Structure 1
Amino acid sequence: MTGPVIPPLPPGEPEPTVADPHALLSGYLDYHRAALLRKLDGLSEDELRGSRLPSGWAPLELLRHLTYVERRWLSWGFAAEPVPDPWGDHAGGEADGRWYIPEGTTTEEVFTAFHEQCARSRNVVAGVPLGTRARTGGRFPDGERAPSLAWILFHLLQEYGRHLGHLDVARELADGSTGE
């Protein structure tokens, strides 16, 4: 008698034997980053910049939003790096209450900014114990409200997970693609 068939892990997901919490959180964050890029791959320029949803957001706008989410939580938040405008050109990364791509910004520029911020984020957290609290002076004015690195990484994972679900719907509406 054979046991149940265990499907393979989705590409890039950490191995189930990973027990180190730092490696697990960082590994899943990289997995979500890669999943975001896979879900955007193959969309035309019109599909990247257009919306099929009543709320009006476009997939490229989501990519830009997540770039600023990482910047806000890890560069400005955890590392307290001087970031003049942690959300980009408008408060909240939004124009008139919604995500946007500034006029004249190329798709390549949005993808490059995402890759650069992810590399910066990896450097910020490399080798830092999960219990380390965010530095003060950036997003957090005092140590009392400064979250731990573990909390920030977990928060980022839920942010990515939620938005990847949104992107699943947008992608399925665009061309019928589903799955990881």
Structure 2
Amino acid sequence: MQQPPEQVPALLDGPAADVSDAHELLLGYLEWYREALMRKLDGLSDDQLRTPVEPLGWSPLGLVQHLGRVERRWVRWGFGAQDVVAYPPGGDAEEWTVAANTSTVQVIADYQAEVAVAGSLTAPALLSDKARLGGRFKTPDQAPSLGRILFHLLQEYARHVGHLDVARELIDGQTGE
């Protein structure tokens, strides 16, 4: 009787197995989720990217737009105290809805630009560094550490990439990892 082939354990998602530094782990997992977001869009037509998925009420491209704004709010406005528009004037409806005159390429480029700025602010900082005052946080007791902000971003991505798995299955039957 022939033995089944030996099962090789699945590789870990995110940073390499030997990474133990908390800063590197948080940034590595955040990067993995950012890449997962893009992987889960692969193969969708422009129409599928832009059409709200029922019963969810948002489109995959709207989710990308939202996550770009989440990056902006928590890293640029929050941690960096940059003077940026944190929330669109139309509230959640505008946050999640891609304007007809905004191309898919532009939404992706805007998202990637926010990720790049976030990286330039978070990579050199320590997890214990507090958010600068004047943007999202006005007083020292309101200002969280970078570690707290990165942890929040990580849970945002984990949740929303999971939502995108559901949307993708409703759109074309593709299931997530």
TM-score of the alignment, normalized to the shorter chain, above 0.5 = yes
Residue 87 (structure 1) aligns with: 87
Tell me the equivalent position of 1:99.
96
Structure 2 gaps of 5+ residues are 1-5
Matches within 5 A, 1:23-172: 23-83=24-84, 85-92=85-92, 94-95=93-94, 99-172=96-169
Aligned residue type for 1:63: V
Structure-2 change in CA distance of 1:51 and 1:102 (3 Å): closer
Q: 1:9 aligns with which of 1, 4, 12?
A: 12
Give the TM-score, by structure 1 length.
0.90
TM-score, scaled relative to structure 2: 0.91
Q: Distance in 2 between matches of 1:33 and 1:89?
A: 26
* Aligned-pair identity (%): 49
Unaligned 5+ residue runs, structure 1? none
Letter in 2 for 1:34: E
CA distance in 1, matches of 2:86, 2:161: 22
1:27-69: CA deviations, max 9, x gaps? 0000000000000111011110112321310000000000000
Q: Determine the C-alpha separation between the residues in 2 that align with 1:129 and 1:21.
A: 10
Q: Deviations over 1:44-95 (max 9, x none)?
A: 1111011232131000000000000000000010000111x21234335x34
